[in-house]
């Protein structure tokens, strides 16, 4: 049944359909002259029928939204948009020029309307008065009254609906209200406000500048011990982006009435950023085949994605988690919501809603891909939003997890959060939304199980430290990774940590309590930094804590994995044996050559090694993820770094491999500097260098960044940046 159809079968439920869009037919609004309902009853007696008081009928000549004053006050100068943008809870000014000076008997009001059938009781029609007569919830005052021109101040309440309001001035005439004509240039966008007493208030100015105003940033990837970073252009101020964010809410059919509620709004946003169920913004694709769209690794920012979505009206192909998180961050900051992208290294994606990630091994010690259902993502990106949680007990406000990457798990929700980070830390999983799911992502135990010949599983090792190794976000004011693991978890093994885990278990998170044989043998695996195309040295250290020598039958398995932990191709199966003297350790160095892994690589850059060992009754196991470092992309900038002056950037790249790169795409953009541009090369020969020059003209001043990416079927994750300081 179509949604439109449902309106007609719902006639008996609502007097008017609940409005769900900011878009408004111009002629469907309030009448220009609205006679008083009660005219005949009382007013004809009370008011003289002659000309109105004050020397002729009062009428409105000009309504000026005072952008040059309001925008700096509201920190909205950056928005590349014709209309005024304000943040709620803070006064903005409007100058009204009448046909004559006001006199004592004159009465007028401002009216702000949003959505169809605006309603005073729902906050979608707000009447602002300037005298003794009572108006709606937004405060109004006359700031200055000079001749025929009146400067008034209007303060939207800190819980006002967020979106695009239509502005009218209505003059009280003898028999009714005389209203200005609809004028799109006086439409005003009302945003959340991190500077004021609002649900998203942030006390610190540097934090506000980073989390609301910064229009580019860094997203961390790779692995916890070898973090790589990728710059991302949020571009929340670019032309068309604010309208795109409101368009997303309109597509979601979220009732206008609820759009002042930050909890409902971010939850809806997390659902709308992915295309599942709701024709949302981005289509996820975790395969190797991106031929029907843009590879997730080619995007350099959110702007082009959002504009594509608005112009095409269909979901944009393709995204993986950092793309979902990057675009969601744009959506949030654009609407004035303090937000950041975080990366959780070794992120558990179970879930039957428990705290166990089960990895299953065959009797010979090799991973049993067929029977393993869970996976640990090398990393997973989500967003955090800073806000109060009046719906929860005290202490659970602050940063909240929201995640727009579609989780096929859980009970089919393709939305996640807001979940209080503080609640996750304390194991208070009894509160909405999805706290248990987020808790498992950072806290799952990894259970290593051996599957016997009859199909029965027996646990032989539990690793409670592997998952959620580290949580990082970009530091305020720099590109440095800022470790926020301690906001999610107490120190592993501390008393508080145990308390948290116990509490989580009380709230129904099933944990593993397998009784394991006490182990006197252990293994750890490390590697040096690994560059794509070069040798990798794997250091496998067996330790014998017992007092007799032990001979270990070991098996090392190497595979190319998706970053989601799922095996793409296996390239190494190596059995060996090592004898470890009592109370000593023995190192085995395994050299992995590019001849082994390059042919299996596909588009993936993540190698996954599992070693298992068996010594009589003892089983040991270790996992090591090696992320291959890609060659650099160089950006060089020339020209005078000044607003509205032409500048040039040259992107260059040298193919370091002895094979040809084919069908190579490059992308380039910079917020306030340059819109998204692309370039295509059919081939880049071995050792060949390509060079691409583009001109651009800075729109915004201050520190700015150009971001470039290179992408082809057998080389992804290549990017580069250039930072420029633009003068005014």
Of residues 112-151, those binding a copy of itself (CB under 8 A)? 119-123, 125, 127, 129, 133-136
Instruction: Give the tokens for residue 190.
Output: 């009302």
Residues 434-453 close enough to bind a copy of itself by CB under 8 A: 436, 449, 451, 453
Angle between helix 303-312 and helix 241-251 axes, rounded to 10 deg = 50
Nearer to a copy of itself, 555 or 705 (CB): 555
Stretch that binds a copy of itself, among 257-265, 462-470, 520-528, 706-714 (CB under 8 A): 257-265
Stretch that binds a copy of itself, among 93-101, 560-568, 636-644, 659-667 (CB under 8 A): 560-568
CA distance 258 to 152: 28
Please report how close the Cβ of residue 109 comes to a copy of itself at its closest, in angstroms.
Answer: 6
Is residue 268 part of the contact set for a copy of itself (CB under 8 A)? yes
Stretch that binds a copy of itself, among 37-45, 138-146, 529-537, 686-694 (CB under 8 A): 37-45
380 given a catalytic annotation:
yes
Map residues 375-404 to x or -, x wherever contact with a copy of itself holds by CB under 8 A.
x--------------xxxx-----------
Beta strands 282-284 and 316-319, pairing class: parallel
Instruction: Give the tokens for residue 19.
Output: 């409005």
Please report how close the Cβ of residue 686 comes to a copy of itself at its closest, in angstroms.
Answer: 28
CA distance 278 to 315: 10
Is residue 49 part of the contact set for a copy of itself (CB under 8 A)? no
Residues 299-318 close enough to bind a copy of itself by CB under 8 A: 315, 318
Residues 62-91 close enough to bind a copy of itself by CB under 8 A: none
Cis peptide leading into residue 418 (ω within 30°): yes
Is residue 608 part of the contact set for a copy of itself (CB under 8 A)? no
Please report how close the Cβ of residue 390 comes to a copy of itself at its closest, in angstroms.
Answer: 4
Nearer to a copy of itself, 315 or 720 (CB): 315
Ramachandran region of residue 319, left (φ > 0), alpha (ψ -120 to 50) or beta?
beta
Instruction: List the Cα angle 320/321/325 in 5-degree steps.
Output: 125
Q: Please identify which of the residues 321, 334, 416, 438 carries the catalytic annotation.
A: 321
Ramachandran region of residue 214, left (φ > 0), alpha (ψ -120 to 50) or beta?
beta
Nearest to 721 by CA among 651, 646, 630: 651
Nearer to a copy of itself, 107 or 669 (CB): 107
Is residue 33 part of the contact set for a copy of itself (CB under 8 A)? no
What are the respective helix, strand and coil percentages of the chain, to the nearest 5? Answer: 15, 40, 45
Please report how close the Cβ of residue 497 comes to a copy of itself at its closest, in angstroms.
Answer: 21
CA distance 656 to 715: 11
Is residue 275 part of the contact set for a copy of itself (CB under 8 A)? yes
Q: Is 367 helix (H, G, I), strand (E, B) or coil?
A: strand
Residue listed under structure tokens 């979902």: 324
Please report how close the Cβ of residue 444 comes to a copy of itself at its closest, in angstroms.
Answer: 13
Dihedral angle over CA of 29, 34, 38, 39, nearest 10: -170
Instruction: List the Cα angle 24/28/29 in 5-degree steps.
Output: 85
Is residue 15 part of the contact set for a copy of itself (CB under 8 A)? yes
Nearer to a copy of itself, 211 or 377 (CB): 377
Q: Please identify which of the residues 74, 349, 380, 466 carries the catalytic annotation.
A: 380
Residues 609-668 close enough to bind a copy of itself by CB under 8 A: none
Nearer to a copy of itself, 338 or 367 (CB): 367
Nearest to 194 by CA among 84, 78, 112, 75: 75
Q: Is 496 helix (H, G, I), strand (E, B) or coil?
A: helix
Q: Please identify which of the residues 374, 403, 445, 711 carries the catalytic annotation.
A: 403
Please report how close the Cβ of residue 432 comes to a copy of itself at its closest, in angstroms.
Answer: 4
Is residue 513 part of the contact set for a copy of itself (CB under 8 A)? no
Nearer to a copy of itself, 148 or 430 (CB): 430
Residue listed under structure tokens 């906001």: 487
Please report how close the Cβ of residue 635 comes to a copy of itself at its closest, in angstroms.
Answer: 30
Give phi and psi for 450, each to the nearest 5: -100, 135
Residues 361-380 close enough to bind a copy of itself by CB under 8 A: 362-364, 369-375
The one among 429, 623, 647, 684 contacting a copy of itself by CB under 8 A: 429
Map residues 342-361 to x or -, x wherever contact with a copy of itself holds by CB under 8 A.
-------x-xxx----x-x-
Please report how close the Cβ of residue 434 comes to a copy of itself at its closest, in angstroms.
Answer: 9
CA distance 673 to 659: 35
Task: Give alpha helix (H) positions in 252-368.
Answer: 262-272, 303-312, 321-334
Nearer to a copy of itself, 431 or 490 (CB): 431
Angle between helix 303-312 and helix 321-334 axes, rounded to 10 deg = 80
Q: How far, in Å, are 147, 378, 678 from residue 681 at the CA level?
A: 66, 31, 10
Dihedral angle over CA of 599, 604, 605, 610, nearest 10: -80
Binding-residue total with a copy of itself (CB under 8 A): 104
Nearest to 579 by CA among 546, 559, 558, 553: 553
The one among 21, 157, 225, 252 contacting a copy of itself by CB under 8 A: 252
The one among 95, 100, 209, 431 contacting a copy of itself by CB under 8 A: 431
CA-atom Rg of the chain in angstroms: 30
Nearer to a copy of itself, 472 or 562 (CB): 562
Nearer to a copy of itself, 8 or 644 (CB): 8
CA distance 523 to 621: 6
Nearer to a copy of itself, 121 or 595 (CB): 121
The one among 455, 513, 589, 595 contacting a copy of itself by CB under 8 A: 455
In angstroms, the first-to-last Cα distance of the chain is 55
Catalytic residue numbers read 321, 380, 403
């Amino acid at each position: 049944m179509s949604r439109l159809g449902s309106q007609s079968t719902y006639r008996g439920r609502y007097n008017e359909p609940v409005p769900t869009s900011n878009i408004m037919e111009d002629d469907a609004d309030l009448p220009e002259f609205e006679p008083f309902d009660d005219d005949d009853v009382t007013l004809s007696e009370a008011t003289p029928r002659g000309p109105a008081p004050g020397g002729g009928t009062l009428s409105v000549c000009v309504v000026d939204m005072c952008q040059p004053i309001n925008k700096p006050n509201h920190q909205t100068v950056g928005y590349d948009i014709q209309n005024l943008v304000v943040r709620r809870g803070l006064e903005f000014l409007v100058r009204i020029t009448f046909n004559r000076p006001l006199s004592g008997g004159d009465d007028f009001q401002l009216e702000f309307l949003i959505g169809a059938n605006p309603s005073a009781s729902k906050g979608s029609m707000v009447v602002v008065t300037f005298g003794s007569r009572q108006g709606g919830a937004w405060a109004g005052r006359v700031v200055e009254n000079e001749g025929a021109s009146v400067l008034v101040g209007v303060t939207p309440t800190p819980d006002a609906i967020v979106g695009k309001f239509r502005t009218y001035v209505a003059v009280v005439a003898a028999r009714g209200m005389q209203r200005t004509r609809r004028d799109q240039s006086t439409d005003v966008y009302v945003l959340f406000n991190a500077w004021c007493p609002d649900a998203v208030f942030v006390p610190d100015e540097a934090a506000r500048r980073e989390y609301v105003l910064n229009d580019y940033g860094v997203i961390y990837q790779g692995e916890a011990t070898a973090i790589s970073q990728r710059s991302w252009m949020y571009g929340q101020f670019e032309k068309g982006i604010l309208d795109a964010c409101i368009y997303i809410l309109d597509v979601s059919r979220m009732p206008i009435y609820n759009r002042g509620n930050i909890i409902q709004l971010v939850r809806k946003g997390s659902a709308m950023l992915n295309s599942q169920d709701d024709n949302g913004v981005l289509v996820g694709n975790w395969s190797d085949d991106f031929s029907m769209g843009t590879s997730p690794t080619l995007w350099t920012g959110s702007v082009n994605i959002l504009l594509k979505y608005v112009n095409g009206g269909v979901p944009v192909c393709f995204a993986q988690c950092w793309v979902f998180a990057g675009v969601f961050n744009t959506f949030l900051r654009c609407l004035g919501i303090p937000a950041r992208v975080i990366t959780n290294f070794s992120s558990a994606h179970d879930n039957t809603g428990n705290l166990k990630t089960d990895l299953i091994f065959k009797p010979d010690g090799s991973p049993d891909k067929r029977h393993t259902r869970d996976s640990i993502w090398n990393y997973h990106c989500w967003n955090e939003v800073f806000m109060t949680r009046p719906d929860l007990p005290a202490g659970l406000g602050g940063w909240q997890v929201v995640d727009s990457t579609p989780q096929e798990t859980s009970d089919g929700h393709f939305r996640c959060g807001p979940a209080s980070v503080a609640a996750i830390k304390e194991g208070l999983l009894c509160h909405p939304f999805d706290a248990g799911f987020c808790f498992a992502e950072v806290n799952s135990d990894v259970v290593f199980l051996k599957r016997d010949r009859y199909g029965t599983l027996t646990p032989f090792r539990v690793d409670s430290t592997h998952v959620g190794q580290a949580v990082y976000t970009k530091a305020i004011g720099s590109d440095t990774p800022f470790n926020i693991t301690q906001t999610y978890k107490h120190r592993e093994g501390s008393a508080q940590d145990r308390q948290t885990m116990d509490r989580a278990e009380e709230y129904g998170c099933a944990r593993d309590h397998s009784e394991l044989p006490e182990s006197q043998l252990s293994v750890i695996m490390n590697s040096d930094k690994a560059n794509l195309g070069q040798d990798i040295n794997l250091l496998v250290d067996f330790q014998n804590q017992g007092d007799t020598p032990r001979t270990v039958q070991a098996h090392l398995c190497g595979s190319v994995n998706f970053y989601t932990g799922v095996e793409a191709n296996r390239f190494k199966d190596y059995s060996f044996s090592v004898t470890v003297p009592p109370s000593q350790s023995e190192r085995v160095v395994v050299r992995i050559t590019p001849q082994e892994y390059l042919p299996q690589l596909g588009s993936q850059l993540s190698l996954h090694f599992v070693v298992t060992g068996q010594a009589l009754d003892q089983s040991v196991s270790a996992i090591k993820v090696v992320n291959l470092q890609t060659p650099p992309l160089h950006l060089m900038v020339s020209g005078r770094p000044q607003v509205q002056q032409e500048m040039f950037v040259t992107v260059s790249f040298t193919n370091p491999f002895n094979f040809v790169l084919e069908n190579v795409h490059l992308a380039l953009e910079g917020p306030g500097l340059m819109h998204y541009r692309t370039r295509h090369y059919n081939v880049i020969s071995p050792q060949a260098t390509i060079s691409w020059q583009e001109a651009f003209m800075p729109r915004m001043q201050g520190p700015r960044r150009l971001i470039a990416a290179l992408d082809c079927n057998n080389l992804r994750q290549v990017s580069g940046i250039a930072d420029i300081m633009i003068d005014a």
